């Protein structure tokens, strides 16, 4: 006879283990002709730099990286991991982690513009043919690794 605590622990272990999903291939269907846009923002004041000009340059770079991150999220999805601690049948601390991963090439810089006096916004565009090429490359890499 299994104890109640052991059954609960077993159930939680199975539930958490079943919730893990990995997404390696882009989720946009073949022949997708519409471009997608990635937009990124960065605040100037929080950037590292010894002068305001240097902080502005770093904010431009950071906003561009955020725009690339947005494109990766749209193409490949987002890996989400949540772990929790339970004591005496009460949920304690929960830790939430998120990660995006993928390859982007051929993105076109649409614009970099200041937003007010404190931030920058960068917009990138990825056209349909580049998306189709990335999907093909991902599929061929995945099939080569399974052979």
pTM of the predicted model as reported, rounded to 2 decimal places = 0.65
Is residue 125 within a helix (H) or strand (E), and if so which, with residue range? strand 119-126
Q: Give me the pLDDT at residue 113, please.
A: 96
pLDDT exceeds cutoff 70 at 24: no
Angstrom distance (rounded) from CA 23 to CA 80: 11
Q: Locate tokens 């193409």: which residue? A: 75
SS3 139: helix
Give the model confidence (pLDDT) of 61-76 as tens digits. Answer: 999 999 999 999 998 8
Q: Is 63 exposed, middle or buried (0-12, 13-18, 19+ CB in 10 A)?
A: buried
Give the model confidence (pLDDT) of 26-52 as tens digits. Answer: 555 555 568 899 999 999 999 999 999
Angstrom distance (rounded) from CA 107 to CA 134: 12
């Amino acid at each position: 006879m299994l104890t109640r605590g052991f059954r609960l622990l077993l159930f939680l272990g199975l539930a958490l283990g079943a919730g893990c999903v990995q997404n390696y291939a882009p989720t946009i269907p073949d022949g997708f002709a519409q471009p997608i846009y990635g937009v990124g923002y960065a605040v100037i004041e929080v950037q590292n730099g010894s002068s305001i000009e240097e902080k502005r340059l770093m904010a431009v770079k950071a906003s561009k990286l955020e725009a690339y991150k947005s494109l990766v999220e749209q193409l490949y999805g987002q890996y989400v991991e949540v772990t929790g601690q339970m004591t005496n049948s009460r949920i304690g601390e929960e830790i939430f982690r998120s990660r995006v991963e993928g390859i982007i090439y051929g993105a076109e810089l649409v614009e970099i513009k200041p937003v007010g006096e404190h931030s920058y916004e960068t917009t990138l565009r990825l056209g349909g043919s580049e998306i189709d090429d990335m999907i093909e490359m991902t599929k061929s890499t995945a099939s080569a690794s399974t052979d």
